[in-house]
Amino acid sequence: MAWKPDLLLKAILIWTMITLIIVWLPVVRGLMDGDSYQWANSFWGRQIGGTGVHGDYWILLVQAVVGIAVLYLGWRGARQPFHWLLLLWLIPPAVQACYDSFTAPEEYRFRGDTLGVDVSLAWVGPLLYGGFALLAIVWVIRDLRSGREKVTPEWTRVSRVLLLIAVILLPIQFILLRFGEQHGPRDQVGVILTMLQWVLINLSFVPWSKRIVE
């Protein structure tokens, strides 16, 4: 029988995908918008930022590479070093979320100027980040003790098609983001397509059953 991630691992991977949206967006927009795009983020308690691909953009790239590796390995058999990368990705933000919530609750917010998003994370941040970090620890301990055989699922046509669609979106995103007015309608559509692209990339990692395409 082909390997499938259990329900707990699926929930953890979906949450990891969600947390990576705030990395994927500035990575793509910094490259496609150019210097007109100003971004800011946080990395292990440190505020980072820049314009386009300048400033701390390299830190975003490191985050994206590690995050994509976590998701790819998690969906494709959960082989090492997945366990340790998963904990590395989830535990530090959980600690930081708790710290920010207690020390500066009014400033602990998620903001997205293009779509007009401004949400307080004062209580939901520690709950979600901390909760999923604990679930990840539970899953890692349970999986390491299980002694299961580490099997890599085969790529199916569904995965290849989803990844191809994500790639096809690139020139459309570039036109919308590079030539659209900052925070205007085309810019907003470009952001939505970038988030859709991120979902498609993650769905391409899923070990789909071959019966879906038979």
15 has a pLDDT exceeding 90:
yes
Task: Look at residue 160 and tell me if it is in a domain.
Answer: no
Task: Look at residue 168 and tell me if it is in a domain.
Answer: no
Q: At what angle do helices 157-179 and 185-205 cross, to 10 degrees?
A: 160
Q: In whole angstroms, give the CA distance from residue 153 to residue 208.
A: 9
3-state SS assignment for residue 40: strand
Q: Is the bond into 92 cis (omega within 30 degrees of 0)?
A: no
109 has a pLDDT exceeding 90:
no
Residue 214's pLDDT is what?
41
Task: Look at residue 129 and tell me if it is in a domain.
Answer: yes
Q: What mean pLDDT do residues 140-169 have? A: 90
- Cβ within 8 Å of residue 101, ≥6 positions away: 108, 121, 122, 123, 125, 126
Q: What is the pLDDT of residues 26-55, one digit of tens each?
A: 999 999 988 888 888 877 667 888 998 999
Boundaries of domain holding 93:
7-154
Task: Look at residue 174 and tell me if it is in a domain.
Answer: no
Residue 110's pLDDT is what?
66
Who wins on pLDDT, 96 or 183? 96
- Cβ within 8 Å of residue 100, ≥6 positions away: 107, 108, 121, 125
> Among residues 100, 83, 86, 101, which one has the least CA distance to residue 133?
86
Who wins on pLDDT, 80 or 68? 68
Residue 80's pLDDT is what?
85
Alpha carbons within 13 angstroms on the beta-carbon side of residue 175 total 4
| DSSP letter assigned to residue 206 | S
Q: What mean pLDDT do residues 133-153 have? A: 89
Residue type at 149 in one-letter notation: E
Task: Look at residue 51 and tell me if it is in a domain.
Answer: yes
Q: What mean pLDDT do residues 18-28 have? A: 92
Task: Look at residue 130 and tell me if it is in a domain.
Answer: yes
Who wins on pLDDT, 90 or 3? 90
Who wins on pLDDT, 180 or 130? 130
Q: How many structural domains are present in the chain?
A: 1
Q: What is the pLDDT of residues 162-212, one digit of tens each?
A: 999 999 999 999 999 988 777 788 888 999 999 999 999 999 999 987 654
Q: In whole angstroms, give the CA distance from residue 88 to residue 109.
A: 23
Instruction: Transcribe 60-120 into DSSP letters.
Output: HHHHHHHHHHHHHHHHTT--TTHHHHHHHHHHHHHHHHHHHHHH-TTT-EEEETTTTEEEE
Phi-psi category of 116—alpha, beta or left, where left has phi over 0 and alpha has psi -120 to 50? left
Task: Look at residue 75 and tell me if it is in a domain.
Answer: yes
- Cβ within 8 Å of residue 137, ≥6 positions away: 87, 91
Q: What mean pLDDT do residues 60-78 have? A: 93
Task: Look at residue 109 and tell me if it is in a domain.
Answer: yes
